[in-house]
Amino acid sequence: MNAEQVTALAEEIAGYMGDDWHHEPYDEADGGPSDWRFRIMHITDIEFGIHVNCRQKPGYLVISGMWPSETFLDGRRSQITPYNVSLTSPTINVRADRPPVDIMREIHRRLIPNYTATFEACERHAREGNKYREGKARSARHLAAILADAADIRGDDLDHVHVKTFGTFRTMGDERVEVNVTVPIKVAAAIAALLKTETS
């Protein structure tokens, strides 16, 4: 198939899948129109959709799911796949010469149920990761505010509070902090006294 044929097939299948689905062409950043792949996305979620490979298995369409991403505080994004949640990625093969309406039925029957459950597990994992990083950053901001000009926040996750001449606090998502600082004995004694009250 050439790129025009692939696009026409994608539009037909998407049309049969219902009003909640649409063919989303790959843009130039993704390589532009393709003669070997296409994607059909759900209108309620920019990451929930199917990917169709027209070349991987001659004579067949290899159809699999798209996966959600977690977002890092510096703007980076990382895809969460079934591997991250100890699951298998659902994939089906459908003969490419079958009518588009039949291909749609196979997608709904054989792929969508397993894909939906797996996507939701990946999405939960992404949400937990986002929450954990947000917790680390919140704790780092709290410590940095106390230290004011004596500290600055570093790290990809904005979770390291560097204290000038002393060392670093590394925050965790559960409001705990790893302390790696070198301080005068009187400061260490004050910390020890606080730790004693926490453990008694």
Task: Provide the CB-side half-sphere exposure for 160 (13 A, CA).
Answer: 10
Q: How many whole angstroms separate alpha carbon 158 and alpha carbon 179?
A: 16
* Residue 26 pLDDT level (bands cut at 50, 70, 90): confident
Per DSSP, 140 falls in state H
Residue-range domain boundaries for the chain: 3-132, 147-199
pLDDT, position 28: 62
Helices (H) and strands (E) in the chain, counts: 4, 11
pLDDT confidence band for 42 (50 / 70 / 90): very high
Class of domain 3-132: alpha beta
Is 68 within 8 Å of 85 (Cβ atoms)?
no
